[in-house]
Amino acid sequence: MQDLSAIKKAVKRARTALIVSHIDPDGDSIGSMIALFIILSRLGLKVSLYSQDGVPRIYNFLPDVSEVKNKVPPREHFDLLFAVDSSDIKRLGDKIVIKQIAKTIINIDHHLDNTNYGDINYVQRCSSTAEIIYKLAKFLKVPIDRSIAQNLYVALITDTGNYRYENTSAETFSMAAELLRAGVDTHDITTRIYDTKSITSIRIQAAALGDLETTSDRKCAFATVTLDMMERFHAKGEDLVGLVDQIRSIDGVEVAILFRQEGDKVKVNFRSKDRINVSEIAKGFGGGGHVRAAGAIIAGDLSSAKNKVVSEVEKYLKASKYLV
């Protein structure tokens, strides 16, 4: 059901809305949710924003970012709940029961493995959720002002790797052009997103890369971040952003993996270069994502998670389960 008019109808009837990002939010999730907040506010709705894991520091400069809360007022009930950029209901976190706090769930996403958990589902193949929010703004006839544009721009560049990934299309560039016309300063934003790192981030990533492991054929390379390392460097999850992409950039590496210990679980981040569909591998471990970027959370200790995952990746590499 790919129909923006269903969303328009629901918006017209509603007075209140809650927008929810996914856990461990990225730029697309945060930028899209704030842009949607501004759009719906312009239409007269009273809108709240919820992100269970808050907002990574790097996005603190975004217009209206202070509207994003990591708590929902108790007993509050909303006409609409928008889930943005979340392929699965579980990605919205375990602290809210979405069907209890809103009448109508609207699921807006660009992950093709989306489980269609909404009452209205708008799932479309495109670079980012931002592209869909941009379309929705046009459909609702809300002009793209500078604050909407800045939020959408950050969402767009973070999900396309600053227009490097193959999800970048002609539409992506048309949209970017219009966002620039609306007042986005691309140099300022890309400097904030790509050229601003904490010293903690550099140090913990150096430590993880220093102990980088590979399979014997070197087609798979993987790094590990333990709880002990996180404590030693006083690091947060966001200090690890970009690490797995660096590993993928190694010549000859097809699959890059980051293993991160979290309590009694292990968070696994996958990247692939050309030929392996890592979302399929992640799904085998209860996770999901995109063809070249995916993730999963595995219960148990680090070494058994690593063994299981790396041997599964080796199977894929050996079986030539390659993409075309």
- List residues binding Mn ion (CB under 5 A): 28, 85, 128-129, 159
CB 313 within 8 A of CB 291: no
**Closest CB to Mn ion among 159 and 239?**
159
Q: Which two tokens stand for residue 310?
A: 């790396």
Q: Report CA-CA distances (Å) from 205 to 57, 59, 63, 228, 236.
A: 18, 20, 30, 14, 12
Q: Which two tokens stand for residue 232?
A: 């030693």
**Closest CB to Mn ion among 31 and 222?**
31
DSSP states of 43-62 as a string? Answer: TT-EEEEE-TT---GGGTTS
Tracing tokens 């396309």 back to the chain, one arrives at 160
- Nearest approach in angstroms of CB 128 to Mn ion is 5
- Nearest approach in angstroms of CB 110 to Mn ion is 6
**Closest CB to Mn ion among 120 and 126?**
126
Helical H segments across the chain, by residue range: 4-13, 27-42, 98-101, 129-139, 146-160, 170-181, 186-194, 199-210, 227-232, 243-248, 278-284, 302-318
Q: How far is 105 from 208, CA to CA, in rounded Å?
A: 40
- Nearest approach in angstroms of CB 19 to Mn ion is 14
CA atoms within 13 A on the CB side of 60: 5
- Nearest approach in angstroms of CB 292 to Mn ion is 13
- 293 backbone dihedrals φ, ψ, rounded to 5°: -150, 120
- Nearest approach in angstroms of CB 22 to Mn ion is 9
Phi-psi region for residue 161, left (φ > 0), alpha (ψ -120 to 50) or beta? left
- Nearest approach in angstroms of CB 27 to Mn ion is 8
* 60: number of Cβ within 10 Å: 11
- Nearest approach in angstroms of CB 159 to Mn ion is 5
Tracing tokens 């009694």 back to the chain, one arrives at 264
Q: How far is 191 from 18, CA to CA, in rounded Å?
A: 31
- Nearest approach in angstroms of CB 276 to Mn ion is 20
Report the residue closest to Mn ion, judged by CB.
28
Q: Is the sign of the CA dihedral 105, 108, 112, 113 positive or negative?
A: negative
